[in-house]
Amino acid sequence: MSPRYALFLALVSLSFFAYRNVSAARCHPDDKAGLLAFKSDITEDPSGMLSDWKADTDCCQWKALFCGLTNRVQSIRLGGQPDNPKRYLSGTFSPLLSNLVQLDQIILSNNRFSGPIPDSLRRLNELYDLDLSGNRFSGEIPNFWDSFPKLLYLRLSNNEFIGGIPTSIASLAPKLMYLELGNNRLSGKIPEFISNFKALDTLDLSSNLFSGVLPKSFKNLTKIFNLNLARNNLVDPFPDLAVKGIESLDLSYNKFKLGKIPKWVTSSTIIYSLKLAGCGIKMRLDDWKPMRTYYYDFIDLSDNEITGSAIKLVNSTEELAGFWASGNQLKFNLSDLKMPESLKYLDLSRNQVFGSVPHSIVGLEKLNLSYNSLCGKIPTSKFPAEAFAGNACLCGSPLPACRIQ
């Protein structure tokens, strides 16, 4: 680019931004009033996320907001950062935020909001993305979902909601892609209408108090990629899903007695996370022949009745980061387990694993080999005695020194 042309471009863009600042992007008074009311219900903002929200400035220039062409606020993105202890907001969710009638995105995740979701939110018919996950919202989830014909992402996980899944959620069926209600105190049965969600990609109902059987029609969720129903009180039968391929599945710690790893899991060629802990699986691990193990990152088969060896399975993966198989009857020589370099977490506690502890454990982040039949000197590592307790004849730090024979 010639220097002259570059200067010309710089001048053009400068004047464009100057023009934008003066005459474009003027905040609508209803939006400003709603935002200032929202701010006045915030009791803590230690990192100053809202410090430039001031009555005498243009709200379209405030941080965390986006104004559309009509100069109405369309998006509010105020997610906290769980790893930054100062970046959060606390307070209640002002009902006056519903002044911002053109909002299509509200992200308030990972803050400390408490109290209910205001009923006035039903005015925001343009919403496609509502993320209130990771707060302290409580009460029942409002039953106003027929007001949101465009909603694609609904994330309410990690709060303190009680009651059932409201019936009006059914009206989101044609479009909704993400339904995340995990880690609340929701109860009741999983409603039949869930199977109408033809576009659903991700369903997270984990760590709640859901009970009873899953509706038979659950198998109509053919597009589902991520399914997490772990830690509820669901019972058999688990329907055979007709999914094209599942990417991540967690059914751990319900009251299922699956017997085997389901066929639709074994045949998935894109699965990366499989968690079936405490699912009543009773099989030889050597007999499991997953169609493709290449993408596996996480496998959790803890607390089942699995026998045989994990050597072939672990050896067939290339990216495995976590393998948990605590509380089974696995019986193999640990010296022969070839750990992929990607492996970070290994839990084989409470099995019948024998042989000695290989040097390759040194690179792991977490390890538990307690209550097996291991023997010999432990390689020097950072793991505590608890990781090696209850074995036949392990010795050396962190356990008592080996006796010289």
Ligand X SMILES: *[C@@H]1O[C@H](CO)[C@@H](O)[C@H](O)[C@H]1NC(C)=O
Q: What is the DSSP string of 26-69?
A: PPPHHHHHHHHHHHHTEEE-TT-TTTT--TTS-GGGSTTEEE-T
Least separation in angstroms between CB 349 and ligand X: 3
Stretch that binds ligand X, among 181-189, 263-271, 284-292, 334-342 (CB under 6 A): 334-342
Q: By CB under 6 A, what part of segment 63-102 binds ligand X? A: none
146 vs 336, beta carbon nearer ligand X: 336
Q: How far is the CB of 308 from ligand X (least distance, A)?
A: 13
Q: Which is nearer to ligand X, 47 or 196 (CB)?
A: 196
Does the footprint of ligand X cover residue 386 (CB under 6 A)? yes
Closest contact distance (angstroms) between CB of 286 and ligand X is 10
Strand partners, 209: 187
**Strand runs labelled E in 165-285:** 178-180, 185-188, 202-204, 209-213, 226-228, 233-235, 248-250, 273-275, 282-284
Letters for 307-326 (x = contact with ligand X by CB under 6 A, - = none) are ----xx--x----------x
Stretch that binds ligand X, among 23-31, 95-103, 229-237, 364-372 (CB under 6 A): 364-372
Question: Tokens representing 50?
Answer: 């809202």
Instruction: Identify whether the C-beta of residue 204 lies closer than 8 Å to the C-beta of residue 184.
Output: no
User: Is residue 370 involved in binding ligand X (CB under 6 A)?
Assistant: yes
DSSP string, 362-381: GG-SEEE--SSEEEEEPPS-
Token representation of residue 37: 């009311």
Q: Which residues contact 243 (CB under 8 A, 6 or more apart)?
A: 221, 222, 223, 224, 225, 264, 268
Determine the interface stretch with ligand X among 11-19, 170-178, 257-265, 330-338 (rule: CB under 6 A): 330-338
Give, as ranges, the residues between 177 and 206 that touch ligand X (CB under 6 A): 195-196
Distance between CA atoms of 258 and 50, rounded to whole angstroms? 50
Among the listed residues 115, 354, 396, 402, the single contact to ligand X using CB under 6 A: 354
Between 144 and 345, whose beta carbon lies closer to ligand X? Answer: 345
Site for ligand X in 214-233 (CB under 6 A): 217, 220
3-state SS assignment for residue 180: strand
Which region among 3-11, 48-56, 167-175, 366-374 touches ligand X (by CB under 6 A)?
A: 366-374
Cβ(379)–Cβ(356) below 8 Å: no
Give 140 or 386: the residue with its C-beta nearer to ligand X.
386
What are the two backbone dihedrals, phi and then psi, of residue 69, each rounded to the nearest 5 degrees?
Answer: -60, -25
Burial class of residue 395 (count of CB atoms within 10 Å of its CB; 0-12, 13-18, 19+): middle
User: First CA to last CA across the chain, in angstroms?
Assistant: 79
* By CB under 6 A, residue 352 contacts ligand X: no
Binding footprint of ligand X, residue count (CB under 6 A):
20
- What does the angle CA 54 – CA 58 – CA 64 come to, to the nearest 5 degrees? 75
Q: Which is nearer to ligand X, 23 or 405 (CB)?
A: 405
Q: Say if CB 153 and CB 132 are below 8 A apart.
A: no
Residue 355 interacts with ligand X (CB under 6 A): yes or no:
yes
- Rank residues 80 and 327 by Cβ distance to ligand X and give the closer one: 327
Cβ proximity to ligand X: between 143 and 315 the closer is: 315
Name the residues that contact ligand X, by CB under 6 A: 195-196, 217, 220, 311-312, 315, 326, 333, 335-336, 338, 349-350, 354-355, 368, 370-371, 386
